[in-house]
Amino acid sequence: MFSKEEIAQRIAKEIKDGYYVNLGIGIPTLVANYIPKGINVVLQSENGLLGMGPFPFEGEEDADLINAGKQTITTLPGSSIFDSAMSFGMIRAQKVDLTILGAMEVSENGDIANWKIPGKMVKGMGGAMDLVASAKNIIVAMQHINKAGESKLLPKCTLPLTGVKCIKKIVTELAVLDVLPEGGFKLLERAPGVSIEFIQQSTAGKLIVEGEIPEMRLD
């Protein structure tokens, strides 16, 4: 199975030259450390930053420079800092080419639940609802199964929804999957050493397997 860092590394391969990319809280923030060499990408943080770099080395942190998840970050030459109103203006105007989000659950129709577990304290939805409502392309970075061993890829989400029919692709510790327009998770790649049968057992929603399924590559 892939680690969180390997999930982020695999998702980084989806980023194309010239993209403006928003990184959500959690696993998606790790993608900043794996941007492929030779491509020009601008990372956007919804609290008001264009040009986010990788995480700082220990001892080089600036407490005043943080991402939306309140983690210390770095900036790249030419970066720009502005208020959150400007940031959400960019998001709502669909100026962001790719959004990478974490999720608690995703349904086979592309619905996402990633902001609240009923009965648990939550600070708020943050920018998640704006992102899923406005983004042209959303990839989810998430764990395939929860701590109880239950699938998080479901026929229908059980938690409060963030967005409806908006997720295009999912990368987990087990697999890379497309969410088809007509519904269902299409298996594209599997983690090294992980069998198709195990992925089927770990996916509660409709899983579509066609032909040979290659192993995920990070190089």
User: Which residues participate in catalysis according to the annotation?
Assistant: 46
CA gap 140, 124 in Å, rounded: 20
Question: What phi and psi, each to the nearest 5 degrees, are found at residue 100?
Answer: -115, 120
Residue 100, SS3 per DSSP: strand
Q: Which residue type occupies 2?
A: F
Whole-angstrom CA distances from 145 to 31, 127, 156, 163, 202 are: 21, 25, 15, 21, 7
